[in-house]
Amino acid sequence: MTMRATTEGFATRLVLITVAMLFLGFFLLLPLVAVFSEALKQGIGGFIEHVDTPDAWAAIRLTLLIAAISVPLNIVFGIAASWAITKFSFPGKSLLITLIDLPFSVSPVVSGLIFVLLFGANGLFGAWLAEHDLKIIFAVPGIVLATVFITFPFVARELIPLMMEQGKDDEEAALSLGASGWQTFWHVTLPNIRWGLLYGVLLCNARAMGEFGAVSVVSGHIRGETNTMPLHVEILYNEYDFVGAFAVASLLACLALVTLVAKSVLEWRFDLHGGAKH
C-alpha cells in the first residue's frame, strides 16, 4: 500500500516520462537538429564554401577576441568580489551581491542602450570622445563593454556560494604557517576553487561568444570590422543566405554543445551543484 501511495503506477510513470520527453524533443532537440540539418543542406562542400569567406573569418576572429578580453576581466572581478564577500564580514554584503546580479535582470537591448547613451555621438561623453578622436560605440571597445556588462555576474555567482561553503580555515592555517597573502591565494585558495572557477568561466564564455542583443545595439554591424558571429548570422539570414546563416550558426551550436558536455562532466566528477542547483 505504501509503495502505491508514495509513487506512481507504471502506466502513470510511463505517460509522464513520455510527455516530458515529447516536450523536450519538440522545444529543445528539434531546433538543435534543424540548425545542423539546414547548415548541411548543400552537403559538406556547401557548408565549407559558406563558412570560408573573409567576412565569416573576420566575425570568428572578432568573437574570439571579445571573449579573450571580457572573460579574463570577469575572472579577476569574480575572484576579487568573492574573496571580499566570503572571507570577511561587513555591513551591506547582501546589497553588494544583489547589485552584482543586476545585469541578469536587464534586457540585453537595454544593456547596449546604456553604453550608447554614455559614449554614442549624442551621449554624455560623445563630444569629448569625438574631440580626442576616440571611438567606443560602433567599435570594438563598445562591444567589449556591453559583453562585460552582460556577463558580469557569471564568475562571481559560481564562486560566492562555493567559497562561502569552504570557509576560511585553510587560508588561516596557511597564514599561521608563515605563508604570505599571495602564496595563500595561489597555493591554497585557487586549487580549492579551480573547478568552480572553470564552471563559471565556461558559462561566461558561452554567453560572451553568443551575446546578440546588447552587442547588436553597440556594434553598428560593420562587415569585417564590428560583426561578431551572432551578428553575422543575422546579416546572412536577412539577406536570404539561409545556408550561410545556418552554417555559421552551427559553429555556435557546436560551442554550445561543447559547453554543455564540459559543464556536465564538471557536475558529475566534482559534484558541483549536484547536477541540480543553478
Per-residue contact string for residues 20-39; x = within reach of other proteins by CB under 8 A? xx-xx--xxxxxx-xx--x-
- Segment interacting with other proteins (CB under 8 A) among 48-56, 119-127, 159-167, 193-201: 119-127
- Under the binding rule (CB under 8 A), the answer on residue 8 touching other proteins is yes
- Under the binding rule (CB under 8 A), the answer on residue 127 touching other proteins is no
Per-residue contact string for residues 231-270; x = within reach of other proteins by CB under 8 A? x-xx--x----x--xx--x--xx-xxx-xxx-xx---x--
Our CB check for other proteins shows the closer of 48 and 260 to be 260
Q: Which residue among 60, 135, 166, 185 contacts other proteins (CB under 8 A)?
A: 185
- Under the binding rule (CB under 8 A), the answer on residue 222 touching other proteins is no
- Under the binding rule (CB under 8 A), the answer on residue 98 touching other proteins is no
- The DSSP code for 103 is G
Q: Which residue among 11, 44, 54, 90 contacts other proteins (CB under 8 A)?
A: 90
- Under the binding rule (CB under 8 A), the answer on residue 210 touching other proteins is yes
Our CB check for other proteins shows the closer of 47 and 149 to be 149
Q: Which of 162, 142, 166 is nearest to 272 (CA)?
A: 162
CA distances from 69 to 125, 221, 226 (A): 23, 20, 15
- Under the binding rule (CB under 8 A), the answer on residue 96 touching other proteins is yes
Grid cell for residue 175 = 597564514
- Under the binding rule (CB under 8 A), the answer on residue 159 touching other proteins is no
Q: How many CB atoms lie within 10 A of CB 204?
A: 29
Q: How many CB atoms lie within 10 A of CB 136?
A: 21
Grid cell for residue 223 = 562587415
CA distances from 264 to 2, 22, 258 (A): 35, 22, 10
Q: DSSP readout, 144-193?
A: HHHHHHHTTTHHHHHHHHHHHHH-SHHHHHHHHTT--HHHHIIIIIHHHH
Q: Which residue among 11, 44, 122, 132 contacts other proteins (CB under 8 A)?
A: 122
Distance CA 254, CA 256 (A): 5
Answer yes or no: are the C-beta atoms of 159 and 82 closer than 8 Å.
Answer: yes
Instruction: List binders of other proteins among 43-62 (CB under 8 A).
Output: none
Our CB check for other proteins shows the closer of 135 and 242 to be 242
